[in-house]
Amino acid sequence: MNDTQDDLCVLPETEKLPTDAKALEHDFRRYLIHHLGRFLGCNPHYLYEALSLTVRDRIMTDWRNTWLQHRLPKQRRAYYLSLEFLIGRALGNHLLNMDIEEQSAEAMQKFSLSLEEIQSEEPDAGLGNGGLGRLAACFMDSCATLKLPVLGYGLRYEYGMFRQHIQNGYQVEEPDHWLRDTNPWELERAEYTQRVHFGGHTEHFTNRRGEPRTRWLNTEEVLAIPFDVPVSGYRNGVVNTLRLWKATATDEFNLDEFNAGSYPESVAAKNDAEHITMVLYPNDSSENGKELRLRQQYFLASASLQDIVRQWEMVHGDDYSNFAAQNVFQLNDTHPAIAVAELMRILIDDKHLSWDQAWEITSNTMAYTNHTLLPEALERWSVKLFERLLPRLLEIIFDINAIFLKQVAIHWPGDSDRRRRMSIIEEDHGKSVRMAYLAIVGSFSVNGVAELHSDLLKKGLFRDFYELWPEKFNNKTNGVTPRRWIAHANPEMTALISSKIGDGWISDLSQIEKLKPFAGSANNKLFHAQWQAAKRSNKTRLAELVKKECGVDFAVDSMFDVQVKRTHEYKRQLLNVLHIIHLYNRIRRGDTLDWTNRCVLIGGKAAPGYFMAKRTIKLINNVAEIINCDPEVGDKLKVAFLPNYRVSSMEVIAPATDLSEQISTAGKEASGTGNMKFMMNGALTIGTYDGANIEILDAVGSDNFFLFGLKVDEVEAMRAHYDPESIIAADEDLKAVFHLLESGHFNIEEPGIFDAVIASMKDPHDPWMTVADFRSYIEIQQQAANAYRDQQHWTRMSIMNTAC
């Protein structure tokens, strides 16, 4: 910041704008008419924009004061580096945090406008795929509420996660140009633009003082322009910052081309630079080695680190002795792990620190969070690509690796296999850089995202590294923000909880356990009735959404059974489908004594290139179609696939859910976070012994959780002799399910389309072992259904889930 003394002054309370309804009404009108040039009958997007600008004005003083507060030298600041921030909608969240919902509703009322309708005009900021991106957004929210000096650094994708349409049951992707209309929640700060380099070559030389130096020459340059997004804390005057980079070309032309008379060509070439932040990669489970993705990763790491070093120098000049004590970088998976090498480059080449000084700083400031155990999801970049795109960074990685492998050799003398296994550079099948290993070697902390997951990392994937550095490894079980996921999404339940235990739980969720004494129904008849009523109105709201989006009628008395998450084989949406077909078979054969009506909702995007996941979506839609049209079935069973599942859908879904499906193959779901959002809204979990399900089970007790399926060791033990065909043959219900599937009952018009999906489940090498858990799944489903018929008991369990 090139602040003058005056700029550095904390803004006084008197600078704050009034937040009464009258003032909001006044400013809303001024923005709509005098700023946007629109009137009340306009496209409702402008109403949303006018209200957002009105609200944003009221964040500004806190935002500025928080920024100044965080600059105080004694604070250790954390930087959350992430290729994804799945923040969803902002307006409602700020209204809640600033406690101006009522005034805003009143102000809108003056124009006969509904606050809720205006809020629904906001497009989701879909700058992420799923769990990892949403986790980043939840952390930002919590850090602001906890007054922690944490800055998020990410990319301002022009196109976020694609929009999912369903046509004839198939997923169709459409680009989501969410920034087409202006985004009132970002503030461009062109004055802090950074330059990022690509390509070129390196040159080693000695300077006049005889010191060895490296230059990175003939590079292409791309400008990184920061756009700041405010992150408000819950009613505490704190507004933190999420800084998102946009790539643009420099104004310099390639002079050769220019002079050769190809002016248009040299201007057109500038387009390449802008492509870097054009689109979010929509795959969340396997890396694909695309050059543009590596450009994105380096662009984020370089721009962010330069920005941080710039701010450091403003206060401390070239004294880096305290840098590590006052800064920490959290790497959200390996996606920004190139930051390890980039910080070394900046400190050595630009700031002229020695290798040892630079390494001391880097390895004490970097921390790495792993989010997956699937080996196919571990990032590897070909050395060839690295060499061409980031030659200086590759040199540094080679040097880090050489020094590291010497350490390995000292620790395990003569163990050359160990050195080969642990090398940051994989030598087999074309050399590549193992980003996870770079992250581990360069970090002081490595964490998994649930107890089981952190444990499995130590025993499996990162075992060698754990043996070398046990002290680096730790667990940080994921969490979700109760502000968005209860207080905002479920106002009726929120008011009810606060009426009993006060509202301290909204910013300190541990207080929610005060609700436990109200779970017993004996002395809490009224409370139980109110709890059921809140669930019921939330179910009505979801039923309306399902009707509108899917054309399916959900009856609110039925049990709402929901699985929403990315579509992936390991998450086993197929197991859910097998159960649905099993219920359908039971209805058809009249086996419906003591039946519980059920509405099954499934939603989730598939990566565009993931055939099996896309075919699973088609299967769900076809099964839904057949079942919903069958008059024999009626309200006993309804099935819907909700298109374009996203953050704002979950805000409607979680509060309305009775049964939360968390049915991944044990050992495959690192944590899960949807499971937590459902639980806190009073849903019961039907789940495997996987990820954070285990901690949910521990917290709520087995009486309030439907556990099923093989455990991790049992899965691994069965693998060697897994024989799905014989399991099917031995189970009449499962046999009937497969019989119906294979008969083409669900795809009469498109024969054969489900063959691959069916075959995958019958394959002895099926990594997800769907069939192995069928029997235990349908049995526990039956228990859940029985339990649901005892509404008094169910309500008790529901309250316990929220309270725990």
Rounded Cα gap, residues 577 and 804, in angstroms: 30
Rounded Cα gap, residues 461 and 374, in angstroms: 9
Residue tagged active-site, from 453, 566, 586, 618: 566
Verify binding: residue 451, ligand 26Q, rule CB under 6 A: no
Residue tagged active-site, from 646, 677, 770, 795: 677
Nearest to 680 by CA among 657, 703, 661: 657
By beta-carbon proximity to ligand 26Q, the closer residue of 477 and 621 is 477
By beta-carbon proximity to ligand 26Q, the closer residue of 137 and 347 is 137
Other C-beta atoms lying within 10 Å of the C-beta of residue 641: 29
As measured in angstroms, the least distance from the Cβ of 128 to ligand 26Q is 8
Verify binding: residue 284, ligand 26Q, rule CB under 6 A: yes
Q: How many alpha carbons lie under 13 Å from residue 271 in its C-beta half-sphere?
A: 6
List alpha helices for 551-646, DSSP H.
573-588, 611-629
Residue tagged active-site, from 58, 380, 565, 615: 565
Give 789-794's long-range contacts (Cβ < 8 A, gap of 24+).
Answer: 789/594, 789/596, 791/532, 792/521, 792/528, 794/658, 794/684
Nearest to 52 by CA among 17, 16, 95: 95
As measured in angstroms, the least distance from the Cβ of 487 to ligand 26Q is 22
Rounded Cα gap, residues 401 and 160, in angstroms: 35
Among 152, 482, 672, 709, which residue sits at the site for ligand 26Q (rule: CB under 6 A)?
A: 672
Among 56, 371, 614, 646, which residue sits at the site for ligand 26Q (rule: CB under 6 A)?
A: 371
Instruction: Provide CB contacts within 8 A for 652, sequence distance 6+.
Output: 489, 538, 541, 542, 545
As measured in angstroms, the least distance from the Cβ of 303 to ligand 26Q is 19
Verify binding: residue 281, ligand 26Q, rule CB under 6 A: yes
Please check whether residue 527 is in contact with residue 517, taking contact to mean a CB–CB distance below 8 angstroms.
no
By beta-carbon proximity to ligand 26Q, the closer residue of 257 and 455 is 455
Verify binding: residue 287, ligand 26Q, rule CB under 6 A: yes
By beta-carbon proximity to ligand 26Q, the closer residue of 299 and 359 is 299
- As given in the structure block, the two tokens for residue 505 are 């739980």
Rounded Cα gap, residues 698 and 586, in angstroms: 34
As measured in angstroms, the least distance from the Cβ of 110 to ligand 26Q is 43
By beta-carbon proximity to ligand 26Q, the closer residue of 450 and 637 is 450
Which range touches ligand 26Q (CB under 6 A), out of 64-72, 104-112, 278-286, 752-760? 278-286
Among 88, 131, 226, 682, which residue sits at the site for ligand 26Q (rule: CB under 6 A)?
A: 131
By beta-carbon proximity to ligand 26Q, the closer residue of 248 and 283 is 283
As measured in angstroms, the least distance from the Cβ of 196 to ligand 26Q is 19
Q: Which residue is nearest to ligand 26Q (CB)?
A: 131
Active site (annotated) includes residue 246: no
- As given in the structure block, the two tokens for residue 437 are 């290993």
Active site (annotated) includes residue 566: yes
In whole angstroms, how far apart are CA 538 and each of 412, 418, 493, 655? 60, 56, 9, 6
Among 88, 123, 130, 603, which residue sits at the site for ligand 26Q (rule: CB under 6 A)?
A: 130
User: Looking only at residues 375 through 414 of this chain, which bind ligand 26Q when binding is defined by CB under 6 A?
Assistant: 377, 379
Please check whether residue 86 is in contact with residue 130, taking contact to mean a CB–CB distance below 8 angstroms.
yes
Among 254, 262, 283, 475, which residue sits at the site for ligand 26Q (rule: CB under 6 A)?
A: 283
As measured in angstroms, the least distance from the Cβ of 197 to ligand 26Q is 22
Give the per-residue contact string, 90-129, with ligand 26Q (x = CB under 6 A; - = no). ---------------------------------------x
The C-alpha angle 724, 726, 732, rounded to 5 degrees, equals 100
By beta-carbon proximity to ligand 26Q, the closer residue of 292 and 730 is 292
Give the per-residue contact string, 207-246, with ligand 26Q (x = CB under 6 A; - = no). ----------------------------------------
Which element (helix H / strand E) includes 246? strand 239-249
As measured in angstroms, the least distance from the Cβ of 282 to ligand 26Q is 8
By beta-carbon proximity to ligand 26Q, the closer residue of 542 and 683 is 683
Active site (annotated) includes residue 514: no
As measured in angstroms, the least distance from the Cβ of 123 to ligand 26Q is 21
- Number of residues lying near ligand 26Q (CB under 6 A): 24
By beta-carbon proximity to ligand 26Q, the closer residue of 32 and 446 is 446
As measured in angstroms, the least distance from the Cβ of 398 to ligand 26Q is 22
Give the per-residue contact string, 410-449, with ligand 26Q (x = CB under 6 A; - = no). ---------------------------------------x
Residue tagged active-site, from 241, 277, 665, 673: 673
Verify binding: residue 669, ligand 26Q, rule CB under 6 A: yes
By beta-carbon proximity to ligand 26Q, the closer residue of 130 and 709 is 130
Rounded Cα gap, residues 421 and 296, in angstroms: 28
As measured in angstroms, the least distance from the Cβ of 27 to ligand 26Q is 39
What are the backbone dihedrals phi and psi of residue 223, each rounded to the nearest 5 degrees, phi first? -90, 140
As measured in angstroms, the least distance from the Cβ of 448 to ligand 26Q is 9
User: Looking only at residues 134 through 153 of this chain, which bind ligand 26Q when binding is defined by CB under 6 A?
Assistant: 135
Please check whether residue 261 is in contact with residue 254, taking contact to mean a CB–CB distance below 8 angstroms.
no
Among 673, 760, 781, 801, which residue sits at the site for ligand 26Q (rule: CB under 6 A)?
A: 673
Please check whether residue 684 is in contact with residue 793, taking contact to mean a CB–CB distance below 8 angstroms.
no
Rounded Cα gap, residues 49 and 37, in angstroms: 12
By beta-carbon proximity to ligand 26Q, the closer residue of 92 and 282 is 282
Which residues, listed in sequence order, are joined to residue 229 by a DSSP beta bridge? 242
In whole angstroms, how far apart are CA 91 and each of 12, 20, 107, 694? 25, 17, 15, 34
**DSSP label at residue 159:** B
Residue tagged active-site, from 484, 528, 571, 668: 571
Write the DSSP string, 510-576.
GGGGGGGGGSSSTT-HHHHHHHHHHHHHHHHHHHHHHHHHH-----TTSEEEEEES---GGGTHHHH
By beta-carbon proximity to ligand 26Q, the closer residue of 135 and 150 is 135
Active site (annotated) includes residue 735: no
By beta-carbon proximity to ligand 26Q, the closer residue of 279 and 324 is 279
Which residues, listed in sequence order, are joined to residue 749 by a DSSP beta bridge? none
Residue tagged active-site, from 70, 77, 89, 371: 371
Please check whether residue 338 is in contact with residue 637, taking contact to mean a CB–CB distance below 8 angstroms.
no
Rounded Cα gap, residues 568 and 571, in angstroms: 5
As measured in angstroms, the least distance from the Cβ of 372 to ligand 26Q is 6
Rounded Cα gap, residues 695 and 683, in angstroms: 16
Among 563, 662, 671, 685, which residue sits at the site for ligand 26Q (rule: CB under 6 A)?
A: 671
Verify binding: residue 670, ligand 26Q, rule CB under 6 A: yes
- As given in the structure block, the two tokens for residue 352 are 């002229």
- Cα dihedral value 520, 521, 522, 526, nearest 10: 130
As measured in angstroms, the least distance from the Cβ of 297 to ligand 26Q is 9
Rounded Cα gap, residues 327 and 283, in angstroms: 31
Verify binding: residue 667, ligand 26Q, rule CB under 6 A: no
User: Looking only at residues 466 through 525 of this chain, which bind ligand 26Q when binding is defined by CB under 6 A?
Assistant: 478
Write the DSSP string, 360-419.
HHHHHHEEEE-----GGGS-EEEHHHHHHH-HHHHHHHHHHHHHHHHHHHHHSTT-HHHH
Verify binding: residue 157, ligand 26Q, rule CB under 6 A: no
Verify binding: residue 328, ligand 26Q, rule CB under 6 A: no
Residues lying near ligand 26Q in the complex (CB under 6 A) are found at: 129-132, 135, 281, 283-285, 287-288, 293, 371-372, 377, 379, 449, 478, 669-673, 691
- What amino acid positions are annotated as catalytic residues? 371, 565-566, 571, 673, 677
